[in-house]
């Protein structure tokens, strides 16, 4: 029986701006993206079991860099700047767009976790982000955050509906950073991604 995947070690590595240098690549790099205030930092802290790993803020648009975290000393989890922050200036929005586009087109990211709000239809910015990842051919998993804000009986149905409204196959993982709902399923998904990356690297090396 295959051992259950878990995140035992996590540490912040570095941040990179538009012109910044990324760390040396690893076989697996998973990025997290979503609109401002969707709960990216809280999700990272919850799945890593470290509430101090990623600084959270009540102020939308706080993350303005590409932040790299090393997990299990084996792969990167990358926190991308939140998009769609209405109060940001046009210059800031342009800078964030360039930052995201540079990273997504770098070829580094092997899988993308896209966070959507389980309570609301996807925004125009969500739709644009989804088009980006389809354009760049990046495999993805949808995570419907803030699941504790709606009735338990509606969570799976609403999560899958949000995915469908985005234009994706109707499946998303309901997740709550408050209660930990979805942590086991999301961690298992990350484990599968890491194993797939490792298998691909082995096949490439053997060839």
The secondary structure of 183-194 as a DSSP string is HHHHHHHHHHHH
Domain membership of residue 134 (yes or no) is yes
Q: Give me the phi and psi of 164, to 5 degrees please.
A: -60, -40
Rg, the chain, Cα only: 16
Q: Does any domain span residue 3? A: no
Average pLDDT over residues 176-184: 97
Provide the pLDDT for residue 88: 65
In a domain? residue 49:
yes
Q: What is the mean pLDDT of residues 33-51?
A: 92
> Is-contact 172 125, C-beta < 8 A?
no
- For the full predicted model, state whether its pTM sits above 0.75: yes
According to the model, what pLDDT value does residue 86 have? 57
Q: How many CB atoms lie within 10 A of CB 17?
A: 14
Asked if the structure places residue 85 within a domain, the reply is yes
Mean pLDDT lowest among 8-12, 101-105, 109-113: 101-105
* Cα distance between residue 104 and residue 92, in whole Å: 18
Q: For residue 4, is it within any domain?
A: no
What are φ and ψ of residue 30, in 5° steps? -115, 125
Question: Tell me, what CATH number does 23's domain have?
Answer: 3.40.50.300
Q: Is residue 147 part of a domain?
A: yes
In a domain, 103, yes or no: yes
Predicted local confidence at residue 61, as pLDDT: 46
- Render 72-95 in DSSP notation, one character per residue: TTTEEEEEPPPB--TTS-HHHHHH
Overall number of domains in the chain: 1
Q: What does the pLDDT average to over 13-31?
A: 93
Mean pLDDT throughout 140-154? 98
Q: State residue 188's pLDDT score.
A: 96
**Which domain, by its residues, includes 156?**
10-206
**Adjacent-strand bridge partners of 113:** 32, 141
């Amino acid at each position: 029986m295959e051992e259950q995947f878990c995140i035992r070690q996590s540490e912040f590595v570095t941040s990179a701006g538009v012109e910044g240098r990324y760390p040396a690549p690893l076989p697996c790099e998973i990025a997290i993206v979503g609109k401002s205030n969707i709960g990216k930092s809280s999700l990272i802290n919850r799945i890593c079991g470290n509430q101090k790993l990623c600084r959270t803020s009540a102020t939308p648009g706080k993350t303005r860099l590409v932040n790299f975290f090393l997990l299990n000393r084996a792969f990167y989890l990358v926190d991308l700047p939140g998009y769609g922050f209405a109060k940001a200036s046009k210059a800031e929005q342009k800078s964030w767009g360039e930052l995201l586009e540079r990273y997504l087109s770098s070829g580094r990211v092997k899988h993308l976790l896209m966070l959507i709000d389980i309570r609301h239809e996807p925004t125009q910015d969500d739709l644009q982000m989804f088009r980006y990842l389809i354009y760049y051919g990046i495999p993805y998993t949808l995570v419907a955050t803030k699941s504790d804000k709606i009735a338990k009986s509606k969570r799976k149905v609403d999560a899958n509906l949000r995915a469908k409204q985005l234009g994706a196959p109707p499946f998303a993982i309901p997740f709550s950073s408050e209660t930990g709902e979805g942590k086991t399923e999301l961690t298992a998904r990350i484990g599968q991604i890491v194993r797939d990356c490792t298998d691909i690297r082995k096949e490439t090396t053997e060839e």
